[in-house]
Amino acid sequence: MTAADFVAALPKTELHVHLEGTLEPEDLVRFAARNGVELPWRSPDEVRAAYSYTGLDEFLRLYYLGCTVLHTRADFHELTAAYLRRAAADGVRRAEMFVSPQSFLGRVAVADVLGGVLDAIADARTDLGVDGAVLVIAQRHRTEAEALELLDAVAPWQDSLLGVGLGGAELGNPPSRFARFFADARRRGYRLTCHAGEEGPAGYVREALDCGVERIDHGIAAADDPALVARLRDEGVPLTMCPLSNLRLRVVDDLAGYPIMALHDAGVVVSVNSDDPPYFGGYVADNHRALAEHLGLSTAQLAALARSGFRASFAPADEIAAGVAAVEDHEARAAGSQPNVADAP
């Protein structure tokens, strides 16, 4: 069995994906026409041609422009349902998805944003067998006061939300600026994530940990800081890494030296994710295949990354165990033998 064949049926998680960033060019153009939004492109092919970036800021300009085509609860339901169908086809069992209501302030009510997303998640859980959950993202280019207001705005849906995080333009917006936000979110019972160490330095990862964050989104800068790697290992804080995103945004020059296995081998819990798949050229299985190709990963290594994905999730312990077991079963079938869970990394 080739690595690509192994990846196709490998049970997976997706812990770092922005729902607004899953808009395929065809859907972006369709939503724009439906909602009377004028775009600088006339066709999906023109949209795709624009997806070339020199860095995060350039991508974010296109990302926020894409957000302007989403206007109604039905739009958010369609967006989420389309992503979850693709995720299910990719073998995703657990999807923890970012949503940023701040991108739609003054244009779309929070009730319509979250209502559409949560309804689609409920449908997918029944129809597709994908266990979906929502992480609300605060945008770090805004103020901490606005982030605190966001917690109040989403409070009516708290029981249906998994957690909160911090995203957006990283440089000049360190996690420490949002210490009160993280503290208030933790007091309210949310799980905590933070984008850190993508374009920002390893020090931003350290600041996020000091704020009580339970999972770091990206975190690639930590790979060059042995003391920080040891802290991530010792505290059991996972990294949600996004290879194709890091490549397209020029965080790395190529994937041949991508540090995900070095971090895994050092004891850090790492997972493979897609971030904003149409913008970066691939969904989660594409990211697994890219790592297999460029790093020469074996099926055992691919299975180890998939197990780490389930362990990095915020799912209940029994669901994590079931996901890990599903990976073991797939690996055993591929090898033509029974799984040996005791030997699993």
70 contacts 27 by C-beta, under 8 angstroms: no
Give the residue extent of every domain in the chain: 3-24+72-337
Asked if the model's pLDDT at residue 338 lies above 70, the reply is no
SS3 139: strand
pLDDT reported for residue 143? 98
Query: Residue range 242-253: average pLDDT?
Result: 97
Query: Residue range 70-84: average pLDDT?
Result: 98
Asked if the model's pLDDT at residue 344 lies above 60, the reply is no
- Catalytic residue selected from 14, 170, 198, 214: 198
Confidence band, pLDDT 50/70/90 cuts, at residue 1? confident
CA distances from 140 to 64, 106, 136, 185, 312 (A): 14, 18, 13, 15, 24
pLDDT reported for residue 336? 83
Asked if the model's pLDDT at residue 327 lies above 70, the reply is yes
What is the 3 state secondary structure string of 18-47? EHHHHCCHHHHHHHHHHHCCCCCCCCHHHH
Percentage of the chain surpassing pLDDT 90? 95
201 contacts 174 by C-beta, under 8 angstroms: no
Q: What are phi and psi of 290, to 5 degrees?
A: -65, -40
Burial of 316 (0-12, 13-18, 19+ CB in 10 A): exposed
* Of the candidates 67, 96, 91, the residue with the CA atom closest to the CA atom of residue 79: 67
Asked if the model's pLDDT at residue 137 lies above 90, the reply is yes
- The domain 3-24+72-337: what is its CATH number? 3.20.20.140
Q: Which residues pair with 270 in a beta bridge?
A: 239
Residue 157: both structure tokens together: 């849906």
319: annotated active-site residue: no
CB neighbours of residue 283 within 10 Å: 23
